[in-house]
A = this chain, B = another copy of it.
Amino acid sequence: MSKPATGDKSATGKPDIRIQREDFDPAAEIERLTSGRRDIGAVVTFTGLCRDEDGRLAALELEHYPGMAEEEIARIAEEAMARWPLTGLTAIHRHGRIEPGDNIVLVVAASSHRQAAFEAASFVMDFLKTRAPFWKKEHPLDGSSGEWVEARSEDDSSAARWKG
């Protein structure tokens, strides 16, 4: 890779957070965290995609709170870095119009140990769902005016798992 690798040892400890309209490439993000390193045993990625909800949706519109979105995800990511021995952590969340099958969110967690990588990625996703300031509006395929997606109580319980 020609760009400065986020995976440099010097960069360990600083999560890489991006809020963007453009798509992302999971393989490139894995590469950024692992390139040139020989101490990483496990990389877990989570990719969240837009579903068509049984053919009902033409697209989702993702609204976000600029500034706070980055800051809140950074807070979540730093909690994860403090809680698990990670060598790197990346979170990318898209905004704007997103169609079924397209990517919405990516979390990549790298560690020497597989449980740490799995748990950190899952933790970041659970809190990203309940704390990151993003809101989804549905654009139905039938052209009717869409509704805002309602928050799901399962997401609150998922986040509550990590308490204590």
The segment from A11-19, A66-74, A75-83, A112-120 found at the interface with B is: A112-120
Q: Give the distance in Å from the alpha carbon of A43 to the alpha carbon of B40 in the complex.
A: 21
By the criterion CB–CB under 8 Å, are A47 and B52 in contact? no
Tell me the bound Cα distance from A101 to B46 in angstroms: 21
User: Are B46 and A41 touching (Cβ within 8 A)?
Assistant: no
Residues of B with C-beta under 8 A to A62: none
Q: Once bound together, how far apart are the Cα atoms of A51 and B117, in whole Å? A: 15
Cβ-based interface call for A133 (8 A): no
Which residues does chain B contribute within 8 Å of A114, judged by CB atoms?
46, 48, 125
**Residues A44 and B45 in contact, CB atoms below 8 Å apart:** yes
Q: Is the CB of A118 within 8 A of B121?
A: yes
Find out whether the CB atom of A47 lies under 8 angstroms from the CB atom of B26: no
A101 touches B38 (CB 8 A): yes
| Chain B neighbourhood of A25, CB < 8 A | 27
A49 at the interface (CB under 8 A from B): yes
Residue A63 interfacial (CB < 8 Å): no
Residue pair A45, B48 in contact (C-beta under 8 Å):
no
Task: Give residues in A with beta carbon < 8 Å to B.
Answer: 25-28, 30, 34, 36-52, 54-55, 100-101, 112, 114-115, 117-118, 121-122, 125, 158
User: What 8 pairs between A and B have smallest CB-CB spacing?
Assistant: A27-B27, A38-B100, A38-B52, A43-B47, A45-B45, A38-B101, A41-B51, A118-B122
